[in-house]
Structure 1
Amino acid sequence: MFDRICVPTDGSDAAAAAFEHILAIAADHDATVHLLHVADTTRDSVTRIGGDVVDVLEREGDSIVADAADRAADRGVETETAVRQGGVPETIVAYADEIDADLVAMSTKGRQGMEHLVGSTTERVVRQSPVPVLALRPGDEETRYPYEDILVPTDGSPAATAALDRALPVAKRAGATVHVLSVVETGGIGVGDHIEIDVLSKYAEDAIADGIARAEDAGVDAVGAVEGASSAARGIRAYVDDPGVDFVAIGTHGRTGVGRSLLGSVAERTLRTAPVPVLAVPTRAED
């Protein structure tokens, strides 16, 4: 499923910790890890050392990706390394496209006070990336792999279907159970709005049924749930904690209006709050 994984790294403790989880995935899929360090051009980096003019950020980047490549070699994972200059999110997306990556995997936290792999950068990569982005929060390296319980929130939209289609091969490979969840948003619904709740519930039930059927056709065990919550993001987070899952695959765009559930903003809030790895899947990744 994964052949070429783009892994941006800034050498921070958070990036190093997440890398252990990424290596487990790469080893399982016999994938090549393409290590990328972005020398952020918003910072002055050229200096003179002795008689030579050098770019200290590029020199630092060379060291960072070399250290990461050594760690990968210890796990038997093949790597390619690159150091590029540019804006961080844009350079990551461009590099992933250049190497024809099928996954970008990155930490949601980076160096404090530096515009490298901070949460906002991850979200900007998610918005721009034509391929799925695996976001790993600090502490996710402790999450078991292979995964055992995979959550796919759905509103029946093409984005939700794309996320499910990405999750099913992962689940089948691991023998994991897929949890198909649809959240009925109750925030803003007042007394007398029972008809709208009924309509939302019907959308949710249909989306769950379609998702379970898709999983069963793929030979994957699946369970479905319809949950009410003040917002989709809160419903997703509550389900992650109880009954508990160790991986979330979510579409980055979804329905609006009556069938609303998976808006891009919901995916971003899930990236920020979920205590487990989150795979953000763009609709066009389905093509």
Structure 2
Amino acid sequence: MFKRILIPVDAGVQDDMQKLLSSALELTQGWDCTCHVVTVIPDVGMPIVGSYMSKDFVDEARSAVATQLADAVASSGLVAEHKVLKGTVYDSVITYADQIDADLIIIGAHQPELRDYLLGSNAARVVRHSKRSVLVLRD
């Protein structure tokens, strides 16, 4: 069926991340597939934003998030490669899915708020713009 599955998570929301990883484990059991779990940290490279942060801020943040992500994947029981990406969430997810030639993206979604109707959530943008199959999991 699906051979390469991408699972983007928000490492900042532990409960949602664990639920998504548990659901992905349950869904993929019995599939002969490789899972890739990613989280995205925002790019603070803009001069006006980056000037307020130390030179090591991005590296330290990436290292801390990588440890957090590795721990979450390990505790979920899901066998997966994991990686921290940097940039805009939906764009980074779509680009990485193309890089690994993912067959499926499993993404979590929250209950839409008013701002999501105006701007769109990251999950909605991934669904709209990805060339890959996307499975959206809700609570």
Shorter chain as normaliser: what TM range? 0.7 to 0.9
Of the candidates 10, 18, 21, which is equivalent to residue 19 of structure 1?
21
Of the candidates 59, 65, 74, which is equivalent to residue 63 of structure 2?
59
Aligned equivalents of 2:81, 2:68: Cα separation in 1: 13
Aligned equivalents of 2:21, 2:62: Cα separation in 1: 21
Aligned equivalents of 1:14, 1:36: Cα separation in 2: 14
Which residue identity lines up with residue 9 of structure 1 in the other structure?
A: V
Deviation at 1:10, TM superposition (A): 1.3
Structure 1 residue runs without a partner (length 5+): 111-118, 139-287
Aligned equivalents of 1:68, 1:28: Cα separation in 2: 21
Structure 1 or 2, whichever has the larger Rg, is 1
Match of 1:33 in 2: 35
Which residue identity lines up with residue 61 of structure 1 in the other structure?
A: V
CA RMSD of aligned residues (A): 2.7
Aligned equivalents of 1:41, 1:21: Cα separation in 2: 29
- Provide TM-score, normalisation by structure 2: 0.77
Deviation at 1:47, TM superposition (A): 4.1
Aligned equivalents of 2:69, 2:123: Cα separation in 1: 19
Aligned equivalents of 1:98, 1:61: Cα separation in 2: 22
Which residue identity lines up with residue 75 of structure 2 in the other structure?
A: R
Deviation at 1:6, TM superposition (A): 0.4
Match of 2:4 in 1: 4
Contact kept? 1:10, 1:61, Cα under 8 Å: no
Deviations 1:45-98 (A, max 9, x none): 7844xxx723143133202320233135x3xx4311111111110000000110
Contact kept? 2:9, 2:20, Cα under 8 Å: no
Contact kept? 2:38, 2:85, Cα under 8 Å: yes
Match of 1:96 in 2: 97
Determine what percentage of the aligned residue pairs are the same residue.
31
Which residue identity lines up with residue 2 of structure 1 in the other structure?
A: F
Aligned equivalents of 1:57, 1:121: Cα separation in 2: 21
Which runs of structure 2 are paired with 1:51-200 in the superposition (5 Å)? 53-55=56-58, 56-72=60-76, 74=77, 77-109=78-110, 120-138=121-139
Which of structure 1's runs of 4+ aligned residues deviate more than 2 A? 42-48
Contact kept? 1:14, 1:109, Cα under 8 Å: no
Higher relative contact order (CA 8 A, sep 6+): 2
Aligned equivalents of 1:135, 1:15: Cα separation in 2: 14
Contact kept? 2:21, 2:73, Cα under 8 Å: no
Deviation at 1:23, TM superposition (A): 0.8
Match of 1:279 in 2: none
Aligned equivalents of 1:128, 1:90: Cα separation in 2: 9
Does the residue aligned with 1:33 lie in a helix, a strand or coil? strand
Contact kept? 2:3, 2:33, Cα under 8 Å: yes
Q: How many residues align?
A: 126
